């Protein structure tokens, strides 16, 4: 029987010689234009009006107050005097403000780094755990995330209590560290921020872990398996495959954590009431409260708040630009 040669090579296998790699960034193209004429803008108008009334009007009042001499007398009806940029000059030439600002930036950076590292490790661990253990960890993190910040601070404050705290008890009786007998954790500023950082990270890790875990479920298993067959270790797979896939998520979560940690208030204020020294542990949020509400200088407090808002807006603008770039690709 004669075999007819068609002269065509057999079709190669779909996976023959193919090397699975992480997706490469798409070339920048034209941004997609929103269709529908004026209909989307018409539907957005009520929300924009409500947002302007709720957020915009108080912000305008804050800016106006920052240009005025506004103290307790003005609260009871005395007309405020315009001092224009005097409040800003007083703030920007005050060494106490720069001390608070530097303390806030360092503390926030440490909290963000630890939160992202812990959230990433927990998300990766959840990918490998059996369903039952994964459900147990998810419930525990949801409980931590749902607990109000003030309640969590009070509970952690009890744990680090000088006389009856479980932390001191464990260190003394389990590990024989007698120097921690009735040790005051909140008097020293360094240990104060250690306790505050634990509380803030404890409450922030669930958001980062859940968000990153949701992104990890979208990474194709075939790509990870191919990289593992090629001899790539766990860290290399994360660096070359997982991180490029989840880069937009990492960016969004990191910037949101920076914004939240820069304006933290409840945890610091409550710990100061428990036993901290305010002058040595103030952050920007508490410093604004101490200057305006407690100190009665609403003009200077407004100036500090405006400077803080400009700092947060700068970070927010960077976040919006990065998200817009991702959408245009």
Question: So where are the chain's domains?
Answer: 67-328
Q: Could you list the mean pLDDT of each consecutive 10-residue stretch along the chain, which spans 329 residues?
A: 45 44 50 62 88 87 92 87 93 95 95 96 92 92 92 93 92 91 92 95 95 91 84 84 88 90 93 90 94 91 93 83 69
Give the pLDDT score at 77: 82
* Residue 153 to residue 200: CA distance in whole angstroms: 9
Considering the entire predicted model, what is its pTM?
0.81
User: What top-level class would CATH report for the domain 67-328?
Assistant: mainly alpha
316/324 Cα distance (integer angstroms) = 12
Which pLDDT does position 303 carry in this prediction? Answer: 95
Spatial neighbors of 268 by CB under 8 A, at least 6 apart, are 196, 276, 281, 282, 283, 285, 286
Q: Can you read off the two tokens belonging to residue 329?
A: 């690709």
Phi, then psi, of 148 in degrees rounded to 5: -60, 145
């Amino acid at each position: 029987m004669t075999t007819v040669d068609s002269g065509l090579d057999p079709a190669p296998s779909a996976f023959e010689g193919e090397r699975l790699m992480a997706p490469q960034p798409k070339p920048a193209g034209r941004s997609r234009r929103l269709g529908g004429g004026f209909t989307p803008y018409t539907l957005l108008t009520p929300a924009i009006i409500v947002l302007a009334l709720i957020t915009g009007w108080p912000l305008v009042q804050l800016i106006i107050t920052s240009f005025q001499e506004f103290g307790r007398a003005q609260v009871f009806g005395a007309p405020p005097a315009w001092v224009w940029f005097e409040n800003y000059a007083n703030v920007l030439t005050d060494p106490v403000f720069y001390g608070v600002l530097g303390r806030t930036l360092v503390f926030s950076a440490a909290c963000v780094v630890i939160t992202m590292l812990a959230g990433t490790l927990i998300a990766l661990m959840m990918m490998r755990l059996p369903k039952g253990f994964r459900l147990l960890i998810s419930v525990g993190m949801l409980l931590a995330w749902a607990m109000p910040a003030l309640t969590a601070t009070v509970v952690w404050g009890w744990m680090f209590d000088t006389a009856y705290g479980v932390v001191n008890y464990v260190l003394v009786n389990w590990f024989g560290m007698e120097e921690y007998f009735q040790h005051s954790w909140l008097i020293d500023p360094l240990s104060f921020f250690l306790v505050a950082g634990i509380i803030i990270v404890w409450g922030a890790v669930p958001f980062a872990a859940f968000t990153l875990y949701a992104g990890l479920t979208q990474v194709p298993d075939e790509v990870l398996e191919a990289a593992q067959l090629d001899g790539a270790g766990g860290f290399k797979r994360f660096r070359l495959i997982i991180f490029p896939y989840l880069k937009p998520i990492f960016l969004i979560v990191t910037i949101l954590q920076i914004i939240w940690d820069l304006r933290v208030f409840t945890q610091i204020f409550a710990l100061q009431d428990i036993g901290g020294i305010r002058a040595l542990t103030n952050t920007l949020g508490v410093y604004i409260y101490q200057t305006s509400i407690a100190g009665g200088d609403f003009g200077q407090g407004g100036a500090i708040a405006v400077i803080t808002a400009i700092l947060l807006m700068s970070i927010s603008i960077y976040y919006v630009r990065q998200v817009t770039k991702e959408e245009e690709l």
